[in-house]
Amino acid sequence: MSNINFVPDDYIQSNESRRANLMCLVLFSVVMAGLGGSFVTIKIRQRACGAQEMLVNKKMARMEESIKKYEELQTRRKEMMRTALTTADLLEPVPRSVLLASLTNSLPPGVSLLRLDMIQKEAPKAAADRVAKTKYEAAQEKGGSDSEARPSAEKGLETRMEIEGIAPSDLQVAAYIEHLGNSVLVDNVALVESQEKKIDNNTFRQFKLTAMLSKEVHLTKDDVDQIRAKAQQSVYQF
């Protein structure tokens, strides 16, 4: 016996259409819900990233300000160190009266001083270091790294002495040079010239010496008093 379907085909097609439409609506709702959730998640992450970016920017601003203050302090410290070194270089490590007393104490019998010139100038190495420092600072301003132009920390002034005097003979001149060489105040003693000169029918040797004041001189009060006390026995009074 054959089955007879009493449901119209239009009704069946209508139900299938409704089911298909409902399925599409559900799928569309799921997709839209997913898109909406993704959009909300992205917005939340954007806000979180924006807040974190603002926090990082504030930290960077504080760091830049701290670095700027540090650089200012470093520049001020360098200026203060430069001023202190210049002041220390300009100060006389040994009073001239004490130096003259020491030179007088070293005179052998019969030897007299005629002239003493003291010339203070920048040491050659200090001048070279200053030029190198200028080049290094220029390279630093340009952002370069010139390791060969990096300046040395050594700098200072040197005091050169020119000594003129008369002696009975070259033996006394040699003895005076030896005495100066043994002095803690004088370095690099050198004879420039020694020539014969007559004074009141007496023959003398007029000599010229050059010497450098020692850079590492540390005299105590007792040393100064001793030098001056010994100088009181000479023609110079201090």
pLDDT confidence band for 146 (50 / 70 / 90): very low
Provide the pLDDT for residue 238: 35
pLDDT, mean of residues 144-167: 63
Q: Phi then psi for 104, rounded to 5 degrees?
A: -70, -40
Q: What is the pLDDT of residues 199-225, one digit of tens each?
A: 777 788 899 999 988 876 666 666 666
Between 131 and 78, where is the model more confident? 78
Provide the pLDDT for residue 90: 56
Provide the pLDDT for residue 79: 86
Provide the pLDDT for residue 67: 92
pLDDT, mean of residues 173-178: 90
Provide the pLDDT for residue 8: 65
The rounded percent of the chain whose pLDDT value lies above 90 is 7
pLDDT, mean of residues 97-119: 84
Question: b/e string for 55-90 if b means 16 or more Cβ within 10 A?
Answer: eeeeeeeeeeeeeeeeeeeeeeeeeeeeeeeeeebe
Question: In the predicted model, is pLDDT for residue 122 greater than 80?
Answer: no
Cα angle at 207 between 202 and 211, to 5 degrees?
155
Provide the pLDDT for residue 108: 87
Q: Rounded to an integer, what distance in angstroms lies between the CA atom of residue 210 and that of residue 200? A: 28
pLDDT, mean of residues 143-155: 43
Helix (H, G, I), strand (E, B) or coil at 148: helix
The pTM of this model reads: 0.47
